[in-house]
Amino acid sequence: MASEAKDSIGLLNPSTRQTTMDARLRFGILVVVVLASVGLLYWQVPNTALILAFLALTSSAAAMFYFVRPQTSPVDEGLAESADWVVTRLIADQSDMGLAVTDRAGRLVCANELFTKWFNGPAVPPDLPLQSGGNELLATAGRNAWRDGRGYAEGLKRGVAEYAAKVLRTGQGDEYLMWQFKPEIRADILDDTVRMVGGAVGRALSEAGVLATVIGGEGRIRASNPVFALRATGSSDANISGRNFINFLRADDKGTIFFEREGRHGTPVRMFHVPLDREQEKGPALILLIDDDGGMFERGKALEQVESMLSLLPLGLALTDRDGRFLFLNKAFTRTAGIPEGEKPLYPGDLMIRDDKSAVADAVRRYASGPPMSGDLAVRLRSGGDDPVALGMAGVRGLGDAAVLLSIKDNSEETKLKSQVAQATKMQAVGQLAGGVAHDFNNILTAIIGHCDLMLLRHAPGDSDYDDIQQVRNNSNRAAGLTRQLLAFSRQQTLRPQVLQLPDVVADVSNLLKRLLDDNIELEVKHGRNLGLVRADPGQLEQVIINLGVNARDAINARGNGSGKISVTTRMVSPSDVRALKSEILPVGDYTALIVEDTGNGIPPQLIGKIFEPFFTTKDVGKGTGLGLSTVYGIVKQSGGYIFADSEPGKGATFSIYFPVHKMSEEEQAQSSEPLKAAAKKELWGSGHILLVEDEDMVRAVAERALTRQGYTVVTASDGEEGLAHLSAQSDSGEGIFDMIVSDVVMPNMDGPAMAREVRVLHPDMPILFMSGYAEEQLRKSIDLDNVAFLPKPFSVAQIAEAVGEILTEDDKNKPKN
């Protein structure tokens, strides 16, 4: 193993081999110099003792030069200083994942044996032999890793195998990518069978006299057990991998199969062909052979030998007769089917629930008669709950009473993974729909709220219309709150994250939460020690706690007695705690946890997977919007956290939220140490010249009237092209340029960011204010422009005036004074 690792590392790191060669060359030159010096001394000083002393001295110097000097080049400091590549490779080979390391130039630095085995040698990610656009997914994950430190790719298919990849940026200088591959929903049954036949199971079959080999779809041998190699070549140690399987066998006129090496007088064999991929007509297969003795032995002896063979396999296998009665069950079959020890069922249908019994019986009778064929059936076991299992069936002939070979596979985990993928896909689609609806609705609410503000400026309190207008405005703000919840679920709301201590937020909101709870519900707040800082929007965190508290209150009231307890706990979660959780979703790291527990009715198992969906509620009609928990989910995910729900019916529910601990930068530490300044009163009046670009007529009209009333001169445009035309005309007329641009983001023809880039070429210092119903964080990633401000929709007349005033005031301060 060490030599193999050393050779592999040498191939991937030729500098190591080159350095060794340079050291040997220097040593050879030194030896020549020593010999020449000895000859010269002998010629000049014919003194043997002096020559020997000089020779010993120079030999010692040469030895020190050769052995003290390092023989291998240092490994790149980005991986590890003075790392031993052989030891690194040996450690990597112990992993159950395929590992590879590439540098910034995309070159392969190192890969373990599992990676080279899965992808046919030291291939370089993302150029792997994958199907269905897998390399495009890997390339995207690699770019995300260079940018964000990590990336993910799922559904990478290669043949019957399917992998998930995780890419990490690593090294002291973040100069390398670590690619981690592990099998996903479907395991590579071909690789598993190759390891089985070439390992202990193959040797056990050899001891039972069963010849076993695995062939690929092209008919070449992938692995074989020792007794097959002995019969095929005469040596049990012969390596026959890669050779054509059919070349070792021949058949006579009667169809009797012999080994080619043994000639016509050899012992005939009976062959069993087990396909490993039923979707391929000529796919990989497991071939089992037993001695046939020319067909002269009794059928009972053949069946006995087959049963002996099946009992050694770790697969769940059984044999039935033509009537469907069990003849044989191996231990793996009884274990997977949940059959109690010592009990032997009569029919396969006895293991199934009532609805599946007739289907299994009909299938067994169908495979027992007619030509040999194979297939599978999804059934539910009596002892396995609602999760289906795959019951494979194959017709067998020539084994006496045995007519059908049954195999059973517990695919509950596969079904669970598929349902999780379907749920995640559905949640993503619903989130996109909710975000789009909320964005369009925000434009309508902006117009409604803006016109209400303009009308209120013309009416004083006490007027007959004042209260009606105020009522319309209040209801519009309630509708805006609903759109914010939809945006929170779809993770498209604008957050104002701050670095804060979670207990401070809990303390601020606990008094409000107490007023929302009934008198007979106890609220308990507990805080752990050494809690790390988190980076989140405090207002949104308060919304999370309130929503979870109200949800817990309703769950307690649903019990009937109305009394109960709600616990809000914060605690530190270390990497070792994360490992103990054994969660496949939560990455290992430092977290600050917020845990909300209640003593309510709990959540039924069939509903717990739906609680975070929008508009899903178990409350009576008119008593809930179904957006409470979906809002919590969206806020937590957009803040970079993780949320889990655990419940046992009748024993309450627990919601655990994990926020990554935030490491403060020097700039953040300096800002936190500065004293807080009193907020200055915002001035709404101004005299600037503004270009307003908005494609929605109603929003454009409200914004224009709002700014005009505050003293600004406003020129409007319906898209980016018209806005650039106004800007060009203003410059050509000699009237000067606009003081700032207020623009929507998403517009037809030319959107806001494209227009802003054109403006920055001609006027690099012009202030720009973007209006949008989408999240500011999302827009900043797509806009990629500096010195731009954002105003979320819906906004009021005062809010747009304040935003414009602040930007123009700040711009005046930054302009150089004459």
pLDDT, tens only, 773-809: 765 555 666 666 777 888 888 888 888 888 888 888 8
Of 454, 485, 484, residue with least CA distance to 472: 454
> 17: Cβ–Cβ under 8 A, 6 or more apart, which residues?
10
Per-residue pLDDT, averaged over 536-540, amounts to 81
Answer positive or negative: Cα dihedral of 745, 749, 754, 758: negative
Helices (H) and strands (E) in the chain, counts: 24, 28
C-alpha–C-alpha distance, residues 37 and 48, integer Å: 14
At 276, is the secondary structure helix, strand, or coil? coil
Q: Determine the 3-state secondary structure of 671 from DSSP.
A: helix
The tens digit of pLDDT for each residue in 349-391 reads 888 888 888 888 888 888 876 566 788 888 888 876 667 788 8
Answer whether 169's CB lies under 8 Å from 145's CB. Answer: yes
Please report the pLDDT score of residue 367 as a whole number. Answer: 83
Q: Where are the beta strands (DSSP E) in 267-388?
A: 269-275, 285-291, 316-320, 326-329, 374-379
> Is 319 within 8 Å of 328 (Cβ atoms)?
yes
The 8-class DSSP code of residue 574 comes to: -
Per DSSP (E only), the strands in 704-812 are 713-717, 740-744, 768-772, 788-792
Among the listed residues 451, 449, 504, 496, the one whose alpha carbon sits nearest the alpha carbon of residue 477 = 449
Q: What pTM does this model have?
A: 0.39
pLDDT score for 312: 73
Q: Determine how many CB atoms are found less than 10 A away from the CB of residue 318.
A: 23
Angle at 130 between CA 127 and CA 131, to 5 degrees: 130
**Under the phi-then-psi rule, with left for phi > 0, alpha for psi from -120 to 50, and beta for the rest, what region is 3?**
alpha
CA 205 to centroid of chain Cα atoms: 40
Cβ–Cβ < 8 Å for 189, 197: no
Cβ neighbours of residue 546 closer than 8 Å, sequence gap 6 or more: 509, 512, 513, 516
pLDDT value at residue 57: 44
Per-residue pLDDT band at 693 (split at 50, 70, 90): very high
Sign (positive/negative) of CA torsion 193, 196, 198, 204? negative
Neighbouring CB atoms inside 10 A of 353's CB total 15
| Structural tokens at position 99 | 């590992």
- Concatenated DSSP letters of 119-186: TTSS-BTTB-S-BTTHHHHHHHHHHHHHHHSEEEEEEEEETTEEEEEEEEEESTTS-EEEEEEEE-SS
Q: Name the residue among 617, 532, 517 with its Cα closest to residue 563.
A: 517
pLDDT at residue 670 greater than cutoff 60: no
Residue 707 has pLDDT above 60, yes or no: yes
Q: Are strands 211-215 and 285-291 parallel, antiparallel or unpaired?
A: antiparallel
Q: Are 320 and 327 spatial neighbours (Cβ–Cβ below 8 Å)?
A: yes
* Dihedral sign, Cα of residue 687, residue 689, residue 693, residue 697: positive
Q: How many CB atoms lie within 10 A of CB 8?
A: 20
User: In the predicted model, is pLDDT for residue 715 greater than 60?
Assistant: yes
Predicted local confidence at residue 591, as pLDDT: 93
The 10s digit of each residue's pLDDT in 402-461 is 788 888 876 656 666 666 666 667 666 766 676 667 667 777 888 888 888 888 878 778
Residue 93 pLDDT level (bands cut at 50, 70, 90): confident
Least confident window among 111-115, 235-239, 323-327, 434-438: 434-438
Is residue 141 within 8 A of residue 152, CB to CB? The reply is: yes
466 compared with 588, residue with greater pLDDT: 588
User: For residues 402 and 644, what is the distance between their CA atoms, to the nearest angstrom?
Assistant: 50
482 versus 443: the higher-pLDDT residue is 443
Return mean pLDDT, the chain: 76
* 3-class secondary-structure state, position 590: coil
How does residue 396 score in pLDDT terms, banded at 50, 70 and 90? confident
**What pLDDT was estimated at residue 267?**
74
- C-alpha to C-alpha distance for 723 and 768, rounded to whole angstroms: 13
CA gap 566, 524 in Å, rounded: 6
More confident residue, 653 or 670: 653
Longest dimension (CA), the chain: 131
Tell me the Ramachandran region of residue 98: left when phi exceeds 0, alpha when psi lies from -120 to 50, beta otherwise: beta
Alpha-carbon distance of 272 to 285, in angstroms, equals: 10
* pLDDT given for residue 15 in this prediction: 40
Residue with tokens 């495979």: 367
Using an 8 Å Cβ cutoff, are 766 and 784 in contact? no
* pLDDT of 71: 39
Average pLDDT over residues 137-151: 91
Phi/psi for 551 (5° steps) reads -60, -40
The model's confidence at residue 499, banded by pLDDT at 50, 70 and 90, is: confident
CA 100 – CA 113 distance, rounded (Å)? 10
CA distances from 43 to 34, 51, 52, 356 (A): 14, 10, 14, 103
Q: Which residue has the tokens 């430190």?
A: 149
Q: What is the pLDDT of residue 417?
A: 65
Q: Taking 60 as the threshold, does the pLDDT of residue 33 lie above it? A: no
Fill in the amino acid letter for 679: A
Q: What is the pLDDT of residue 774?
A: 64
DSSP H or E segment with residue 776: helix 776-783
pLDDT given for residue 122 in this prediction: 78
Report the distance separating Cα 539 and Cα 543, nearest Å.
6
Is residue 273 scored above 50 in pLDDT?
yes
| Sole residue written with tokens 């003792």 | 49
* Position 590 pLDDT exceeds 70: yes
Instruction: pLDDT band for 815, please (50, 70, 90 cuts).
Output: low
Residue 261 in this model has a pLDDT that exceeds 60: yes
Query: What is the edge-to-edge ordering of all strands in the sheet holding 108-111?
Result: 108-111, 98-103, 176-183, 161-170, 150-158
- The amino acid that residue 752 corresponds to is G
Q: Measuring CA to CA, how many Å separate 413 from each of 359, 390, 578, 611?
A: 24, 12, 22, 22
**What is the DSSP pairing of strand 768-772 with strand 788-792?**
parallel
- Element at 698 (helix H, strand E): helix 697-709
The yes-or-no verdict on residue 132 having pLDDT over 60 is yes
Are residues 725 and 750 in contact, defined by beta-carbon separation less than 8 angstroms? Answer: no
Average pLDDT of the residues in 469-478: 80
Q: What's the CA dihedral at 449, 455, 457, 463 to 10 degrees? A: -120
pLDDT over 60 (residue 678): no
> 596, 655 in Cβ contact below 8 A?
yes
Name which of 215-229, 556-570, 605-619, 625-639 the model is least confident about: 605-619
The answer, yes or no, to whether the previous bond of 126 is cis (omega within 30 of 0) is yes
Q: How many angstroms separate the CA atoms of 22 and 401, rounded?
A: 73
pLDDT of the residue at 22: 47
Average pLDDT (645-662) is 88
What distances in angstroms separate CA 54 from CA 28, 32, 51, 65, one per listed residue? 18, 14, 5, 16
Task: Kindly give the residue spans of alpha helices, DSSP state H, lying in 523-606.
Answer: 538-557, 575-581
Region 549-571: mean pLDDT is 83
Residues 6+ apart with CB under 8 A from 332: 313, 314, 315, 316, 317
Please name every residue paired with 178 in a beta bridge, in sequence order, or none if there are none.
101, 168
Between the alpha carbon of residue 424 and those of residues 56, 386, 427, 431, 631, the distances in Å are 76, 21, 5, 10, 16
Contact present, 205 and 224 (Cβ < 8 Å): no
Residue 337 has pLDDT above 90, yes or no: no
